[in-house]
Amino acid sequence: MKYASEQGEKTLIVLLGPTGVGKTELSLRLAEKFKSQIISSDSRQLFRDMTIGTAAPTIDQLNRVKHHFVGNLELTDYYSAAQFEAEVLTFLENYFLENNVALMTGGSMMYIDAICKGIDDLPTIDTQLRNEIMQTFETDGLESIKIQLKMLDPEYYNEVDLKNYKRVIHALEVCLMTGKTYSSLRKNKTKERPFNIIKIGLTRDRVELYERINHRVDEMMAQGLLEEAKALYPHKQLNALNTVGYKELFYYFEGNCTLEDAVEKIKQNSRIYSKKQMTWFKRDKEIVWFHPDQESEIVEFIENSL
């Protein structure tokens, strides 16, 4: 059933793309053009105290357009794509009572898919079980978690990125919580949404994008990323801080490299992440791609799609 009113059907515009491509400024102008508020789909901008390293909206930008899901979590809070799905859908249900258009922007692939396609209804993990598995992870390392997952769900073990400890741990949590394999519970079926979705992807030539990424890292350092990372260093074990821009500086603080090397590593890892994002997004045939400078074409496309 579609959300509808005398004002017409409701539409979610999704502005996505790799890190550094230029989503933020364009999202502000599109939000102003279509009289929309902005939903952030950046999994790290949710956490406060990480503003520089996550390129979170500035105070001026927040004053220009009302944002949601920015800086509303503590570093210690547990959060997932499933929670994001539930909270954003609840927000939109209320928002669309008085508004026709919402704009969501960001680059966190699973968070975007959670809203546009839905994610599988997996069980809530018992806190005690989660703590026990994390204790095993911290004491014995990821290898012990992988061994358990291989025994309980060899199918998923053979397809998961075994270096992505969050996915490995979550799969094991589900196996132990349900007594079933994680792979058997993954349906990967797209859920119907009661609103229209317009997906706009921003892309640039690789050389152009990489130059922007390198420049943005230099800007972050000039804005005080080093000092921000120093303040966060005592909490380095938290999942929220397993993030490009912080983990490289933590490595520097521990005397393992020079500051110059750490900054270069941030640039390199940001470029690698942008490539992963594009690989993920390119699988989605619903995304219509534009260069960020094609603003008039983007506006025209949206107007014709509403």
- State the Cα–Cα distance between residues 55 and 105, nearest whole angstrom: 13
- Domain final residue pick, 137, 166, 185: 185
pLDDT at 163: 81
Do both 165 and 204 map to the same domain?
no
Do both 138 and 14 map to the same domain?
no
Token representation of residue 47: 């956490």
Do both 208 and 171 map to the same domain?
no
pLDDT digits (tens, 9 = 90+) for 49-68: 999 999 999 999 999 999 99
Do both 155 and 301 map to the same domain?
no
pLDDT digits (tens, 9 = 90+) for 221-255: 999 999 999 999 999 999 899 999 999 999 999 99
pLDDT at 187: 66
Domain coverage including residue 230: 4-119+189-305
Mean per-residue pLDDT, 74-93: 93
pLDDT digits (tens, 9 = 90+) for 126-148: 888 888 999 999 899 999 999 99
For the chain, state the CA radius of gyration: 20
Residue 95 has pLDDT above 80, yes or no: yes
What's the CATH number where 203 sits?
3.40.50.300
pLDDT at 161: 83
Pairing of strands 4-5, 8-9: antiparallel
Question: How would you write 171-208 as a 3-class SS string?
Answer: HHHHHHHHCCCHHHHCCCCCCCCCCEEEEEEECCCHHH
pLDDT digits (tens, 9 = 90+) for 252-305: 999 999 999 999 999 999 999 999 999 999 999 999 999 999 999 999 999 999
pLDDT at 7: 53
Mean per-residue pLDDT, 151-157: 92
What's the CATH number where 138 sits?
1.10.20.140
- Domain final residue pick, 140, 170, 185: 185
Distance of CA 209 to the CA centre of its chain: 19
Q: Which amino acid is residue 121, in one-letter code? A: D
Question: Would you call 301 exposed, middle or buried from its count of C-beta atoms within 10 A (0-12, 13-18, 19+)?
Answer: middle
Do both 220 and 168 map to the same domain?
no
Q: Would you place residue 194 in the very low, low, confident or very high pLDDT band (cuts 50, 70, 90)? A: very high
pLDDT at 6: 46
**Its pTM surpasses 0.85:** no
Q: For the chain, what is the mean pLDDT? A: 93
- Domain final residue pick, 139, 159, 185: 185
DSSP characters for 285-304? Answer: TTPEEE-TT-HHHHHHHHHH
The residue among 166 and 287 whose pLDDT is bigger is: 287
Question: Would you call 183 exposed, middle or buried from its count of C-beta atoms within 10 A (0-12, 13-18, 19+)?
Answer: middle
